[in-house]
Amino acid sequence: MLTWMGVWAFMCGIMGYIGDRQAQSVLLSGLNKLEYRGYDSAGVAIAGDAELQVEKSVGRLAVLADHLAMSPIVGKVGIGHTRWATHGRPSDENAHPHTACDREFAVVHNGIIENYLQLKEHLLSRGHRFTSETDTEVVAHLLEEYFTGDLFSTVLRVIKEIRGAYALAVVAEKEPEKIVAVRKHSPLVVGFGDGEQFLASDIPALLDYTREVHILAEGEIAVLTKDGIACYDLAGEPMTVEPFFVTWDAQAAEKGGYAHYMLKEIYEQPKAVRDTLSGRLTEEGRGVVLPELAWTVEEIKKIDRIHIVACGTSYHAGLVGKAAIEQLARIPVDVEVASEYRYRDPILSADTLILVISQSGETADTLAALRNAKACGNRVLAITNVVGSSVAREADDVMITWAGPEISVASTKAYTTQLIALYLLAIYLGQSLQVIDAVFISELVHEMQTLPQKLDDVLETAPQIEKIAQAFSTWDDAFFLGRGIDYFVALEGALKYKEISYIHAEAYPAGELKHGTLALIVEQVPVIALVTQDVLYEKSLSNIKEVKARDAYVLGIAWAGDDEIAKSVDRVLYVPRTMSFFAPVMLIAPLQLLAYYASVARGNDVDKPRNLAKSVTVE
């Protein structure tokens, strides 16, 4: 059985068809299978016998399907798209496919074009007229600008100009018997039929038509015609195509071969971290740029306090954000649970910045806290994973975490990318206020860029964690301990653990145990001790000895190379060392996996745990 362990961030769904069927029905069917990848707008472009026709609309795929049912588009070649907005809010104009001035080309895109602003300026100076706010539209205009009469060579020329992560599919009115597609960092697969060929972001979209597929490699270009698919590298040299036969059922395929969305989303974290950093570091990698924040240094200097307001996992990310902002920018930060904050009439000065964090951007308590702050006239910055969400629309400024849709109720990649957004903000504030010097800033930026690879390394330890989780899952209690930032991660680890395994789990500041909770520590009860904060190391060890003295079973999670900890605990999981306040990015992955495997061991519905919803849109 082929296990597809590809790690791809999910932002949008692409579908393409060429053959003897009416393209419209194939595109809609494929997009329907891809809607879990993004669903704020959708569209199709079909090259009929006459001109290229485009139909697209904001909203779920059903809205587009209704439009097409009323006025179908005839044609046997087409591309389609279901969107997860990154640049440009969800709207009809921002929906894909995008065309250029004379609508002779249509393009759909999944990913981020980092240099789209420069390209757009150049194209505007050349007289091109844009109709959307998206990065993608520049591709359509570049095609128009460089069209040589041959679509394939034109695409080769265009992709030399764009930087970033992209999966692209293009059709041209003047070459209606062809689809050209390119893959760079975002997924694309092609499917082989008899006298018909298929293209999609993900395998599930193909399985109703074919199980013979080829996954495009990095930098691979596919040219689909009715009779076959030819693949090339970026230099235009032919590449060998290695089809494989997919044995998965459609449902398994939606999870990319993983057993659950949660596991897939845990493994997407390195890519999600990389995408969230993308476009927010200076060219030479020595500083942070936040194009989404047009703040002057004067405005930043006026901020006298920051209130971070969130719920659940997002609240736990906010605690780490407090540590980072106070250390790197020396601005005082309070972190509050939104359901409390919204009712307690907080003391605000005119210069208190409210920072709301919400994966869904729809959490009722967080949204209410945002509205209260706005009513008081305070500036609100939001960190959210959903472009166009209520929080994103109502905040004054927004930082998007580019994790892509998070399907599983238990939040994983959203948390990790919230941490990255908070680190970027902390560095941005610190460098604007000149609290941290250029050398330290470049060290921070360099270290952040190593985190995706280090996360990959941590995920390699999954088999060990699975065995530990199976043992722990026989217990009805678990305690998570940490000091300083490690305690904030312990809180998130305990929440993950309890919400999907249904095992009672508590997190404690390690120094707090002796003030009561130690009474619950009995022989072999699982205790997970996080030990990465060097300045608190000795204290953490002595707390571990307290619980060992009561015969608890202690799992330590510590920096690779720490031989001391092994003498004090029953088992150690090592994570690659990084700077102390980046520790949560390393520590959280083993805790997510521990929770996941404990839940599986107990036979729970991992992705849809009892009593919980993915977005708590009610009080």
Catalytic annotation, residues: 12, 614
Q: Compare residues 337 and 579 and give the one whose CB is closer to ligand AGP.
A: 337
Yes or no: say if 103 and 52 are a contact pair by the CB < 8 Å rule: yes
Yes or no: say if 609 and 410 are a contact pair by the CB < 8 Å rule: yes
Rg of the chain, C-alpha, whole Å: 25
d(CA 567, CA 312): 34
Yes or no: say if 204 and 35 are a contact pair by the CB < 8 Å rule: no
For residue 604, state whether it binds ligand AGP (rule: CB under 6 A): no
Q: Compare residues 258 and 553 and give the one whose CB is closer to ligand AGP.
A: 258
Q: Which residue is nearest to ligand AGP (CB)?
A: 312
Point out which span in 32-40, 354-362, 518-526, 582-590 binds ligand AGP (CB under 6 A).
Answer: 354-362
Point out which span in 312-320, 342-350, 509-517, 595-603 binds ligand AGP (CB under 6 A).
Answer: 312-320
Point out which span in 37-45, 179-187, 307-315, 514-522 binds ligand AGP (CB under 6 A).
Answer: 307-315
Tokens of 514: 């002796």
CB of 268 to ligand AGP, least distance (A): 15
For residue 591, state whether it binds ligand AGP (rule: CB under 6 A): no
d(CA 129, CA 258): 44
Footprint (CB under 6 A) of ligand AGP, residues 432-491? none
Footprint (CB under 6 A) of ligand AGP, residues 56-85? none
CB of 599 to ligand AGP, least distance (A): 12
Indicate the SS3 state at residue 325.
helix
Yes or no: say if 275 and 112 are a contact pair by the CB < 8 Å rule: yes
Q: Compare residues 77 and 380 and give the one whose CB is closer to ligand AGP.
A: 380
For residue 360, state whether it binds ligand AGP (rule: CB under 6 A): yes
Q: Compare residues 57 and 313 and give the one whose CB is closer to ligand AGP.
A: 313
Neighbours of 64 (CB within 10 A): 25
Applying CB under 6 A, among 14, 266, 410, 521 the residue interacting with ligand AGP is 410
Total residues binding ligand AGP (CB under 6 A): 15
For residue 359, state whether it binds ligand AGP (rule: CB under 6 A): yes
Q: Compare residues 97 and 584 and give the one whose CB is closer to ligand AGP.
A: 584
Q: In sequence order, what are the beta bridge partners of 575?
A: 559
Q: In sequence order, what are the beta bridge partners of 139?
A: none
Indicate the SS3 state at residue 36.
helix
Yes or no: say if 115 and 135 are a contact pair by the CB < 8 Å rule: no
Neighbours of 532 (CB within 10 A): 27
For residue 339, state whether it binds ligand AGP (rule: CB under 6 A): no
Yes or no: say if 458 and 486 are a contact pair by the CB < 8 Å rule: no
CB of 363 to ligand AGP, least distance (A): 3
The residue type at 3: T
**418-438: burial string, b at 16+ Cβ within 10 Å, e else:** bbbbbbbbbbbbbbbbeebee
d(CA 597, CA 613): 20
For residue 558, state whether it binds ligand AGP (rule: CB under 6 A): no
For residue 311, state whether it binds ligand AGP (rule: CB under 6 A): yes
Applying CB under 6 A, among 94, 110, 358, 372 the residue interacting with ligand AGP is 358
Applying CB under 6 A, among 197, 363, 372, 473 the residue interacting with ligand AGP is 363
Q: Compare residues 409 and 485 and give the one whose CB is closer to ligand AGP.
A: 409
Yes or no: say if 6 and 187 are a contact pair by the CB < 8 Å rule: yes
Residue positions counted in the chain: 619
Point out which span in 95-103, 213-221, 405-413, 482-490 binds ligand AGP (CB under 6 A).
Answer: 405-413
For residue 313, state whether it binds ligand AGP (rule: CB under 6 A): yes
Applying CB under 6 A, among 22, 91, 464, 615 the residue interacting with ligand AGP is 615
The DSSP line for 17-33 is EESSS-HHHHHHHHHHH
Q: Compare residues 53 and 314 and give the one whose CB is closer to ligand AGP.
A: 314
Yes or no: say if 27 and 78 are a contact pair by the CB < 8 Å rule: yes
For residue 592, state whether it binds ligand AGP (rule: CB under 6 A): no
Q: Which residues bind ligand AGP (CB under 6 A)?
A: 311-314, 358-360, 363, 366, 409-411, 499, 615-616
